[in-house]
Structure 1
Amino acid sequence: MMGVTMTVVEAARSALQNEMRQNPDIWVLGEDIRHGGVFGQYKGLVDEFGPDRIVDTPIAEATMVGAAVGAALLGTRPVVETRFSDFALSAIDEIVNQAAKIRYMFGGQGRVPLVVRMPSGLRRGSAAQHSQSFEAWFAHVPGLVVTAPATPSDATGLLLTALRGEDPVMHLEAKELWNISGEVAAEVAPIPFGVGKVVRSGTDLTVVTWGVALHEAVRAAQELEDRCGVSAEIIDLRTLWPWDKQLVLWSVARTRRIVVVHESVRDVGLGAEIAATVAEELHQTLRAPVRRVASPRIPVGYSAPLEDVYRVQASKIIQTVASMVGVDVAHPARMPGRVAVSDQY
């Protein structure tokens, strides 16, 4: 069947709408969602489902998530909209000490099928309190699933899995990807958590990334191939916890180089966990040290030049990769020692 071209906003909204039609236990609560939400991700839903299932709340994130945890324990499937991921910190106790722990503390007798949608990361001119990415925080907490779709199709598939699951999901949606377009299948299958995707095959090194950084990595890989003949394999993790260790290790075992790219603070970031895992498992076969390209440990500036210091761009990825494989981007030359690839994951 032919797919349909949709934006991330449209794809995610369509997935939620279809699931709400099929399952009356799904409902949404958050600020201003009856008017469509900040990014239009709930546009028109109140007209179909009414104010009992599209519920506007006060500016009180702890109350929203606390109510959703209780409602999930009683058998419904709430979706909480936080407007910006930064605001989820006002509900950190409800997320970390309640939603994440209940299944364990009650021996599986209580489950929390909760989806917390968090518009995450940069959006031009949003400044320090509206631009943060907390994937490493939530991935650190046992009991939470963390997802980060980068395309309309994955936004649909991952959200379907979250809405049908039995555990709390922190669903991080990059704000700068809301309006990118892509093909979405007429019948989208749920994407299992913990399954990454090879977006681009390559032989010289592996780039592991997610969210908005995926698109910068793809641009960087194309330029590296065009200018220097460097072949980069790109993996989109899609799910950050659990993350697809098998796929990453399979790829790096072949390419023998890896750079992890993410638009969130580099220090103590999720990239460090991936780098450490690869170093522990494959240190004897690596041809270069594991590298990371990520954001500096600074608040996000309001002005465009300051914001760009934080932003992960293709140029930064190119510089890092060039140093790893031993090419001069300004004066490109073919690198020696190419690793042959014949098998497929």
Structure 2
Amino acid sequence: MTDLAIAANGLRKSYGDKTVLDGIDIQVPAGTIFSLLGPNGAGKTTAVKILSTLISADPGTGGIHIGGHDLAADPQGVRAAIGVTGQFSAVDGLITGEENMLLMADLHHLPKAEGRRVAAELLERFDLTEAAKKPASTYSGGMKRRLDIAMTLVGDPRIIFLDEPTTGLDPRSRHTMWQIIRELVSDGVTVFLTTQYLEEADELADRIAVLHDGRIAAEGSAEQLKRLIPGGHVRLRFTDPDAYRSAASALREATRDDESLALQLPSGGSQSELRAILDRLDAAGIEADELTVHTPDLDDVFFALTGGADVTDQPKETVR
């Protein structure tokens, strides 16, 4: 996990007087899923285009290394190591799924026999064998997205950039795509994922960076990011009114709900905080009938980091 598949320092990009990326750092260990989250126009696609050699970063950007290749000195080496699936499908609807795959094999200069073998294997892997001879224009959105990723894999890249790969897909197709992404990583592929779907980042990513106003507002695992936002609490519920009153007396800082016989205490949900609460109850000889821990979800994190000036004006939060 110490080997970095992607390392970019001080990534900068402006268009006129509009700063899209304002010196962001990105580090992605090999064999992991990194998700770049952000609202529309935050610069997610721009970051992907720079890292995948489609556009150049601005002067002042530090070093960029992809798959061990220096992007500035060896862009061809970078291109050979990566695959890219953009927001908009690269599938040609006028030809069949198989022909799309064989076209990619030709672009990768694979011998004819090998190209046909790779195409057939990938079509089978993505459950597209039956539809292989049909025009891609007849495919559903989910099928086109699967074909798009299959085409990306023709060159056997070890690093894949997926720019909002499930946009517009129905829930079933989205979950199918998630399983495909997990399987890629289990094979040792590194995935750089951009998405607007918070659930997607929560489900898939080993590490998440929230991009806002050209900067990374926070970075960490989903669980670590959730702990950055206040609002977590522990709720204790009792069935015995006497036990409830005794607990309320022992935990005077708790918010009372006399109707439900429940107490609520602010908490980040850590083991030490829970132990301290339970120790105080034990010392008073009280046992709660139900204990639940509530932590902010990724929606709370996203809106706090991208919607509140009091949060985004603060320095970047990085959780290790």
Q: TM-score range by the shorter chain?
A: under 0.3
TM-score by length of 2: 0.26
Give the strand-richer structure, 1 or 2. 2
Question: Considering only CA atoms, is the larger Rg found in Structure 1 or Structure 2?
Answer: 2
TM-score by length of 1: 0.24
Higher normalized contact order (CA 8 Å, seq sep 6+, divided by chain length): 2
